[in-house]
Amino acid sequence: MEDFQDLVHSTHHLRVFEVAARHSSFTRAAAELNVSQPAVSLAVRQLEKALGIRLFVRGHRSVSLTQAGEMLFGDVSAGFARILETARLLRRQGRQSHVTLSVSTAFANYWMVPRLAQFHRLNPEIDLRLQTTDRDPDLAGEGLSLAVWRGDGTWRGYSAARIADEELIAVASPRFAEAYPPVTSLEILAGQRLIHLEEPFRPCPTWREWFAAMKGPYRDSGGGLRLNDYALVVQAAMAGEGIALGWRYIVEGLLRQELLTQVGPWRWRTPKGFYLIWSKTAALSAQAEAVRDWIIETSQADSFAPGDDRSAAVPGTG
């Protein structure tokens, strides 16, 4: 049975062939490879002899591929391109001494940062870096290890672990809540100063959807404070600017610290959730695996992790 060595003799011949075919010139190929022009000619002749077919038509100042040469060049160039891409990926992994987690500013500020001391205490050798973004990036293409995305947990090319249900409540600063009569009905809530999130790139729940889920009356008149980042929405609510929709897993710590308070008993749990995701095509480093496992374990230990009875919606409210 013929093997690669019987047919080609040397991968060096394929490399010389690829460069010569790409330049349509033995002279320019010699310059790129830093060898003499006769050395290029010899390597090509040896390859042609091994294959038993001519790969180039020789001209006075240039060469062109034969039909057989075109066939070989397509496969060789594609093969070298794949090898180069894999080598680059492995080099990035080898050099990567840190782990990059891509998250929203709200997740970074209100979920991750309060837990960083615990993470560093348990993993002092890991250099964890947070990258905030308003988009869902291509992890492998941008050299990112992990990300937190909102959705149904199904993304082509990615593995996903659910770290939180999507449950939304109305929240405001205690000072704001105390300054107005108690919100005892959805009708009253609809007439309050509401803070709106209008993200430009990622869909997110709106007050209209929330009221619809609660089966309450609401009409968006276009007024109210409107912000394009959820961290700003939370900050505005804490500053007493109005009532905001609170993703429970984000605002839970702020509720405990009494920086925010829940307005009314209504809760809306959607079919979506928040997921820690990582690429299926790029292997995680040991450090990235440790970060992944820590986030999953920490989310499961949280009081309002998925499956906790206290995070269930109030009966009859959605």
The mean per-residue pLDDT over the stretch 299-312 comes to 53
244 with 236: CB under 8 angstroms?
Answer: yes
Residue 253 has pLDDT above 80, yes or no: yes
Q: What are phi and psi of 28, to 5 degrees?
A: -70, -35
130 and 167 fall within a common domain: yes
Q: What CA–CA distances, in Å, run from 126 to 18, 105, 198, 289?
A: 42, 21, 35, 11
Q: Residue 288: give its domain's CATH number.
A: 3.40.190.290
Predicted TM-score (pTM) above 0.75: no
For residue 230, which phi and psi values (nearest 5 degrees)? -70, -30
* Range in 143-147, 226-230, 302-306 with the lowest mean pLDDT: 302-306
Q: Are residues 236 and 166 in the same domain?
A: yes
In this structure, the answer to whether residues 229 and 150 fall within a common structural domain is yes
pLDDT(274) > 50: yes
> Whole-angstrom distance between the N-terminal and C-terminal Cα of the chain?
69
Asked if pLDDT for residue 200 goes beyond 60, the answer is: yes
Q: Which residues does 103 contact at the CB level (< 8 Å), separation at least 6?
A: 112, 130, 131, 132, 133, 147, 148
Q: 178 and 80: one domain?
A: no
Q: Which of 45, 78, 95 is the last residue of a domain?
A: 95
Q: In terms of domains, do 77 and 202 share one?
A: no
- pLDDT, residue 92, reads 60
Give the DSSP letter of residue 25: -
Range of the domain at 248: 97-318
Segment 164-192, tens digit of pLDDT: 999 999 999 999 999 988 999 999 999 99
- Rounded CA-CA distance 15/9 in Å is 12
Q: Are residues 53 and 192 in the same domain?
A: no
Domain count, the chain: 2
- Same domain flag for 39 and 115: no
150 and 35 together in one domain: no
Residue 136: pLDDT above 80?
Answer: yes
